[in-house]
């Protein structure tokens, strides 16, 4: 198939409509992946000036200023409309239409139900009580559209003693047990900077939606999906959990070291805060590593002659390896070792990731122009399908940008009806001044 054919092929989820009620990261990223596959997504959020919506996220981002600038806005400038310039928001909500709709009003709930009638999927990541309080939980939506697929992503699920607890990835990661095994033997628990549980939940949610769509295609039946984010995270802690279940053994913090590989870790390289990761799994790889660094005398010592010996003498081994790596550029170490068959990776900072020649040559980053945030590169879609294209068709919506389009074109409301809804502040196409 030629490139031209690929570019004119329909996307995988073309014709599927999703109502997105999610916030922050886990939900928005899940829906963004589906939007990148061609689904029409209508992002529904509370109008600015009302509780909720992107105002909460805006406040969160402004809290992280360092006294000189706001680091999560383009050029560190919130501008006159900071709610439309947030980097995180604009990354996770590309390819979506946006409507500002207040679901606390009966009129807003009725509009949402009308959208459900013509939609395929509803996704939300509130605590369990919220959709029920709106009168928009699954039993209600199923009466409106029996074929609807609804997925809820509460932090702790719809049952259990923690069901109503709010959650962020910054706390779920710890509760799922990840932090307890991260760190060094003499340190307390560590956490990842990127709140690992959020993207894990996102990927699970996107996969669950695809399974439900496949089921509906075969049976005509919609269904309700409950995705407890804590459980999608615990699911990936299988090895230490099984070790405890079978042996009653608690894992120890080991830093960058491995349970059987040695050398294994991050080694300082030439330059300011430059590092390389190295993982040697077999005696053959060890021999290749020794040849690559010139077979210095210490590589022939008996204590390093086999895998167990190297593992038992890692403190001394790491010091000797660092004497070599500190004289090298981290990319140079990676490339040299990889050519010799030894697994190694340069430890990249964010700037180096954005400029990485491999990612750039593959065209991973995608350039998006946003009317308020300007022109910037964003992470691309991680999957490549040979017969169905993916890509960015539109930037993230400004607040209420598509409210009139959705109400008029999709629901058939007249201009007069829309004007009345705006006067009553049920919907908006911009900030509401109270």
Summarised one tens digit per residue, pLDDT across range 221-276 is: 999 999 999 999 998 888 899 989 999 999 888 999 998 999 999 999 999 999 99
Q: Judge if 62 and 205 occupy the same domain.
A: yes
Which pLDDT score is estimated for 81?
83
Which pLDDT score is estimated for 4?
35
Please say which residue of 326, 357, 388 terminates a domain: 357
Name the catalytic one among 91, 120, 198, 429.
Answer: 198
The answer as to whether 90 is a domain residue is: yes
pTM for the full predicted model? 0.90
The answer as to whether 254 is a domain residue is: no
Domain harbouring 343, CATH code: 3.30.1540.10
Domains in the chain, number: 2
The answer as to whether 280 is a domain residue is: yes
CA dist., res. 296 & res. 316, Å (int): 14
- Weakly modelled stretches of the chain, pLDDT under 50: 1-7, 63, 67, 434
What domain range includes position 52?
Answer: 3-235+365-428
The answer as to whether 42 is a domain residue is: yes
Q: Which two tokens stand for residue 47?
A: 């109008």
The answer as to whether 224 is a domain residue is: yes
Domain harbouring 135, CATH code: 3.40.50.10540
Q: Which residues contact 384 (CB under 8 A, 6 or more apart)?
A: 390
The answer as to whether 245 is a domain residue is: no
Q: Judge if 102 and 86 occupy the same domain.
A: yes
Strand, coil or helix: 258: coil
Closest CA to 100 of 360, 402, 318, 310: 402
Check if 198 is active-site.
yes
Closest CA to 72 of 51, 50, 57: 57
Asked whether the beta carbons of 57 and 86 are under 8 A apart, the reply is: yes
Q: Judge if 276 and 340 occupy the same domain.
A: yes
Asked whether the beta carbons of 197 and 174 are under 8 A apart, the reply is: no
Cβ-count burial 25-58 (b if 16+ within 10 Å, e if not): bbbbbbbbbbbbbbbbbbbbbbbbbbebbbbebb
């Amino acid at each position: 198939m030629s490139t031209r054919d690929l570019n004119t092929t329909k996307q995988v989820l073309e014709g599927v409509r999703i109502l997105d009620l999610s916030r922050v990261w886990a939900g928005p990223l899940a829906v963004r992946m589906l939007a990148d596959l061609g689904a029409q997504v209508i992002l529904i959020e509370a109008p600015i000036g009302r509780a909720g919506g992107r105002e909460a996220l805006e406040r969160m981002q402004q809290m992280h200023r360092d006294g000189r600038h706001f680091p999560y806005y383009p050029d560190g400038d919130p501008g006159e409309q900071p709610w439309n310039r947030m980097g995180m928001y604009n990354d996770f909500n590309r390819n979506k239409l946006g409507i500002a709709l207040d679901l606390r009003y009966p009129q807003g709930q009725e509009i949402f139900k009308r959208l459900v009638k013509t939609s395929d999927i509803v996704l939300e990541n509130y605590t369990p009580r919220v959709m029920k309080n709106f009168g928009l939980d699954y039993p209600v939506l199923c009466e409106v559209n029996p074929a609807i697929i609804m997925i809820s992503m509460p932090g702790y699920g719809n049952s259990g003693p923690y069901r109503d607890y709010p959650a962020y990835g910054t706390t779920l990661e710890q509760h799922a047990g990840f932090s307890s095994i991260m760190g060094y033997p003499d340190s307390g628990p560590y956490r990842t900077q990127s709140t690992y549980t959020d993207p894990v939940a996102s990927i699970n949610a996107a996969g669950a939606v695809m399974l439900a769509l496949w089921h509906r295609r075969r049976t005509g039946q919609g269904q309700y999906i409950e995705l407890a984010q804590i459980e999608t995270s615990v699911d990936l802690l299988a090895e230490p959990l099984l070790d405890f279940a079978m042996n009653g053994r608690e894992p120890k913090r080991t830093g960058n070291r491995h349970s059987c590989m040695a050398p294994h870790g991050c080694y300082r390289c030439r330059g300011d805060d430059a590092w390389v990761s190295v993982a040697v799994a077999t005696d053959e790889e060890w021999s290749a590593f020794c040849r690559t660094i010139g077979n210095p005398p210490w590589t022939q010592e008996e204590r390093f002659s086999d895998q167990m010996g190297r593992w038992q003498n890692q403190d001394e081994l790491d010091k000797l390896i660092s004497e070599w790596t500190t004289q090298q550029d981290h990319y140079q170490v990676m490339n040299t070792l990889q050519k010799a068959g030894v697994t190694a990776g340069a430890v990249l900072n964010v700037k180096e990731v954005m400029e990485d020649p491999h990612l750039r040559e593959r065209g991973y980053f995608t350039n998006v122009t946003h009317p308020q945030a300007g022109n910037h590169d964003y992470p691309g879609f991680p999957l490549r399908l040979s017969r169905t294209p993916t890509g960015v068709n539109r930037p993230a919506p400004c607040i209420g940008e598509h409210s009139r389009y959705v109400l008029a074109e999709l629901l058939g409301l007249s201009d007069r009806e829309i004007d009345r809804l705006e006067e009553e502040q049920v919907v908006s196409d911009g900030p509401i001044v109270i």
